[in-house]
Structure 1
Amino acid sequence: MTAHSHPDLTQILAELRRPKLLVRAARFGLRDYNRARDLKRLMRRNEAPRPVSALIELIAQEAELEMLRKNGEAGYSLTRHIEILIAVMAEARLVRIMAATPKSTDLSAT
């Protein structure tokens, strides 16, 4: 599955509006993001899913957290929200890289 399979992901990410401090905290945390370690924990899985699948699920989780934040719900976790935003940013970057990387099946042509 490629980013081209889900053109709406690009639009969803482009339209995402969150408080600057939340985004700044997530950007700061990007440098310490470790996909193998963090994604499994955040998604509560034994294995990390493919980047597009992970991004779709992470966007849904982030939307739920944003709703809880806006409604002032007691179950809202700022820490988890930042961690999910970090993962969204990292996975989106990985999906963009994968979409831009040509897939060559004939290595003898190089």
Structure 2
Amino acid sequence: MLDILGLVGQLNRPKLLVQSARIGVDDYSRDQHLGRILRRPAPPRPGEAILHLLELERELDTKRREDRADYSIARHVEVLIAIMGEARILRAVTRA
């Protein structure tokens, strides 16, 4: 699991995106948000969720860098919030 957290730690995104996600992470609720973000009925375990979220985030970041019309900053922040929230959960589980 630490490798997954290492992947999260390697993310290097614009400061404004990261700051926005940090503001929202305290309100993150996996039961409320994760299924909608991943568009799956049942949320996967935190490690698997992070891998899916990282894939989504890479796609969003590519759209951002290419200045594509279908890029959504709100969706990007939402995914970053979920990554941070799931990383918190994974850290708590691995410590226990």
6, 14, 18: which one pairs with 2:9?
Answer: 14
Paired with 1:25 and 1:97, the residues of 2 have a C-alpha distance of 23
Larger Rg: 1
Amino acid corresponding to residue 89 of structure 1 in structure 2: M
22, 44, 58: which one pairs with 1:63?
Answer: 58
TM-score normalized by the length of structure 1: 0.83
Amino acid corresponding to residue 35 of structure 2 in structure 1: K
41, 46, 53: which one pairs with 1:46?
Answer: 41
Amino acid corresponding to residue 69 of structure 1 in structure 2: R
Give runs of ≥4 in structure 1 deviating > 4 Å: none
Describe the superposition over 1:32-77 as per-residue Cα deviations: whole angstroms up to 9, x where unpaired. Answer: 1111010010011111111111000001100110010001011100
TM-score normalized by the length of structure 2: 0.94
Describe the superposition over 1:56-100 as per-residue Cα deviations: whole angstroms up to 9, x where unpaired. Answer: 000110011001000101110000000000000000111111111
The within-5 A match list for 1:1-110 is 3-4=1-2, 7=3, 9-101=4-96
Aligned residues: 96
Corresponding residue for residue 104 of structure 1: none
Unmatched 5+ residue regions in structure 1?
102-110
- Tell me the C-alpha RMSD between the 2 structures: 1.0
